[in-house]
Amino acid sequence: MIVVQGFEDQQIGVLGLGRSGLATCAALAAGGAEVCAWDDSPDSRASAQAAGVRLVDLTRQGALDGLAALITSPGIPHLYPAPHPVIAAALALGVPVDNDIGLFFHTLSVTDWAPKVICVTGSNGKSTTTALIAHLLAEAGREVCMAGNIGTGVLSIDLPGEEGVVVLELSSYQTDLARRLAPDVAVFTNLSPDHLDRHAGMGGYFAAKRRLFSEGAPARAVIGVDEVEGRFLAMQLGDGAGDSRVVRVSSGQKLQGPGWSVFARKGFLAEWRGGRQAASIDLRAIAGLPGAHNHQNACAAYAALRTLNIAPREIERGLHSFKGLPHRSQLVAEIGGVKFVNDSKATNVDSAAKALQAFGRIRWIAGGLGKEGGIAALAPHLGAVAKAYLIGHSARDFGLQLGSTPHEICDTMARAVARAAAEAEPGDVVLLAPAAASFDQYPNFEKRGEDFTALVQGLATR
């Protein structure tokens, strides 16, 4: 656990008592702060009280009087569409509002030494990129801790030794609010519409991501430049095309210019510096990184490690041993020449499009709680889809948007898996890439992916 410094004998409020909230309470208390906490959920309050957390109803009038700061969890709205009432009261009183990421960087700033910190943000691929960076560092013999949006609260970790590295995945909710951001290396994977209600539109969403670079002033920035926002960000951070503090990354285009770039084309990763090629890696045989979207993740991770002076061949060895993450282009099984791939994390159109472009002939399982616009934008990416098997709340709406692509309304995952398996031929890929949220039938995308995996494994045992 990280002991949060700088709040000794001060009253600190904590709003939200999930995993990161409980870790925040413990880390603040260990540093001598007087913690009072609240959660709107009675179950969360009961769990926190059982863990020894002092509960105070922060929604009461006057409850925030005397607080030095309010620390909130990322899932609680702090600005749009409207601040949570407790946060609104803090804003009205001028009480500083922060999150565990801000506390982490604040604590590093007042300690005698700190490990290197790599932060990864973006719309798609940030979890895979974060996990890949951590894997490559470990394979290179570096002590590494991975935390943040990927599943472990940052204040729960023990800091690695002097040569170690902390790798953090950061969501837009986290970068938008953190009062202090100070990574050594910051990575921007890409940008596509998501969480727009929490940021009042695309401009606010990009501004939240951009704070990691504008507020954090990283020594090195790895920027995906396949969208205009990435190109704009790279331009703002660099002092001209040859500035090696910025590493531009792409999947699908050869990057020009005298600066530092890493890109993938036709399955090959290339590193260029000063107008000359410095390294090349064949990505096509790396089973844990299928498709162009994963090649972009590989480029971003490779670039991050190169900023730490880790050799290309050392990175290449680590790439080959990476197994991928659950629910992200995860090969679950191959049965009778048919591959079953779990990409339950493809909860929006952009991530589903990347999955659909990663494979050949596809039996596509899609649907759930559809987002604004449905799947109409996927029309250019359906060429490899032999048939779609639609589930969940938006199944019929999705069917109306598929045009001439054959489809079947299956409603449930069990029926979709059974029908796709029955009709699949050797060489086909049965792909779960829902292009929708899971909340109509599952509590989260992980449970949806686990259901798919269990059903496929059931097929394998027959």
pLDDT at residue 113, rounded to an integer: 85
pLDDT at residue 457, rounded to an integer: 95
pLDDT tens-digit readout, 124-152: 889 999 999 999 999 999 999 999 999 89
Nearest to 339 by CA among 316, 355, 322: 355
Which of 116-125, 191-200, 259-268, 354-363 comes out lowest in average pLDDT?
191-200
| Confidence tier at 323 by pLDDT (50, 70, 90) | confident
**Radius of gyration over every alpha carbon of the chain, rounded to an integer in angstroms:** 23
pLDDT at residue 163, rounded to an integer: 87
Report the CATH number at residue 34.
Answer: 3.40.50.720
Both 244 and 137 in one domain: the answer is yes
Both 18 and 127 in one domain: the answer is no
Both 274 and 359 in one domain: the answer is no
Both 251 and 395 in one domain: the answer is no
Report the CATH number at residue 112.
Answer: 3.40.1190.10
Rounded mean pLDDT, 447-460: 96
Both 265 and 158 in one domain: the answer is yes
SS3 call for 123? coil
Q: Is the peptide bond before 81 cis (omega within 30 degrees of 0)?
A: yes
Tokens of 77: 């709205």
| Confidence tier at 398 by pLDDT (50, 70, 90) | very high
pLDDT at residue 180, rounded to an integer: 97
Q: Which residues contact 92 (CB under 8 A, 6 or more apart)?
A: none
Answer yes or no: is 4 within a domain: no
pLDDT tens-digit readout, 264-298: 999 999 999 999 999 999 999 898 898 888 999 99
Q: Which residue range forms the structural domain that includes residue 277?
A: 107-320
Q: Which residue has the tokens 């500035």?
A: 243
Asked if the model's pLDDT at residue 18 lies above 90, the reply is yes
Domain count, the chain: 3
pLDDT at residue 324, rounded to an integer: 85
Answer yes or no: is 1 within a domain: no
pLDDT at residue 285, rounded to an integer: 84
Domain boundary among 73, 98, 123: 98
Answer yes or no: is 404 within a domain: yes
Both 128 and 275 in one domain: the answer is yes
pLDDT at residue 310, rounded to an integer: 97
Q: Are 186 and 303 in contact (CB under 8 A)?
A: no
Asked if the model's pLDDT at residue 241 lies above 80, the reply is no
pLDDT at residue 112, rounded to an integer: 85
Q: Are 262 and 269 in contact (CB under 8 A)?
A: yes
Domain boundary among 49, 65, 98: 98
Both 158 and 259 in one domain: the answer is yes
Both 81 and 115 in one domain: the answer is no
pLDDT tens-digit readout, 357-367: 999 999 999 99
| Confidence tier at 87 by pLDDT (50, 70, 90) | very high
Domain boundary among 302, 320, 338: 320
